[in-house]
Structure 1
Amino acid sequence: TVSVTLVCVGHVLFLVGLCQGGCRDAGLCCKGRDPSCISKGWRSDRSYGTCYCDQACVSTLDCCHDYETACPAVSCVVSEWTQWSGCAQPCRATVRRRSRTILQEPVNAGKPCPHLEEQAGCAEYWTEKGHCHNSLVPALITTSGYGNARKKRNLPESNDVIGYCVQFQLTSLTKECQQSVGPHTRWMQYLREGHHVCVECQPPALAAGQKHCTGDGDKNYDNSEDRQSLQWQAVGNPRCRGVWRRVERLESCSCPTAHSFLFI
């Protein structure tokens, strides 16, 4: 009786082994999350029953036992970066771009593709006809908290010398801004591409004999659809710099403290 029982048990295990099923037997390898992409057999958690052959099973831990071999993961492959393009326009602080293409799309939960385009600030100081007439000196900025302690210069006694604010949208910045950890440079970590910032021009920072701060742009662009792009640089970390697009001039700043700065 014992020998017969052992033979029966062995026979049952043999049949189960033949009926393992899985992704290969079902001929399934599905993209994304697909509830209909199912088979029956041993699962990766060593239980037996319904199992899946879609990409989502890797995170839900209900893949068929042979998913990784029947549906091998293929990571995204991209080309090398192209050369940087020239500046978009001469005599204006603007951006340059480079890109790369997808050579292999990711398959079966393979590593996704990285970003395919990068941009960086740049400026061309001459044209085919010669040098630019306008200055492209970048705006120097610091945190708005500095405004409470900055020393006043000798200003002419005139009622028309007043401050103002300019709103910009950050279009590019260097990675060194996020690496500023010192007590006087930590404010640079709040800078993010796409965010709007307010930069105040206080009387002490007015350009000599002028009614505007160096690097604040041209007020003629306030009502133009072609917003002016300008370079900026953070005081305290010269490697933290970038390009922003002028939005408008305001009488007073209305941005949150973390996004409020000063012209120097």
Structure 2
Amino acid sequence: MLTSTAAAVAVKLAAAAGLLAALAADVVRGEGSCAAARKCCAGQDTDCAVTHDVNFISSQPCYCDHGCLDMGDCCSDFKDYCGVIDCKVGEWSEWSDCSTNCGQGTSKRTRDILHPPANGGRECVDLEQVRSCRKEGGCESQRRKDKISALRETAMLLPNRWSSQKKSKGYDVRQNLKSYVEEVNKDEYCIVFRVSKASKACLENKDTLELYKGNEICVSCESKAVREKLGGRCSGHGVYDAQTRFKAVVTPTCHGRWERIRLEEDCPCSNGPSFIFV
């Protein structure tokens, strides 16, 4: 049995041992100080090391060279003493409105750079975030383009080389058409169709070779073809889940049926629209 005096001595010895172990751990970690050593080196310099043990025997060194940022072995006060400043960014902004008024779209938020990085500090990252969103409130304006009359309309087509977006000057073949209206209307859009049936004549003219069964093509509704009386759309732009007719102006014997796949602001086809509405 230990006496009370012996027990007290044992407790003190244990506490002292714990303190020594903590001090030893600090030494092994090599928590030197760049400021105390007055070291701050450019580039990667293995001589720019700091340790509690000047003989580098009982501890691992930390470093005060800029290469330590890549190696991850900088002294704890390296950045403060050597003027290394990490990028500092502000708070995230509110999420923006959905990019569309109807259907699937995107919303984003951003944050500003409060202080740019300096002297090799951490770069600015993740300044913008994007998430998906969906809106239904504005779909009524799109449905306005899909009146019952669209089922009875025939789309009159011209090759895309007649597009006003190509900024061609001079005579416009559409001026001979009774339906031609010289108006500037910025409510332009693009329709993707899937051809259900096409006459053989479509394959006899290079301008209409893309009009064959099963092919998906883009047709642009440009400002000159927009009809206000049709709700600000092009005649013959079709309807969803139903077949409508088309006819090529340059090759009148080229005609057929197609089904509208989707309506987009810009034509998604890799080569742009193949045709434009008249």
Normalised-by-shorter TM-score class: 0.3 to 0.5
Provide TM-score, normalisation by structure 2: 0.38
Larger-gyration structure (1/2):
2
Which has the bigger relative contact order, CA under 8 A and spacing at least 6?
Answer: 1
The structure with the greater share of residues assigned to helix is 2
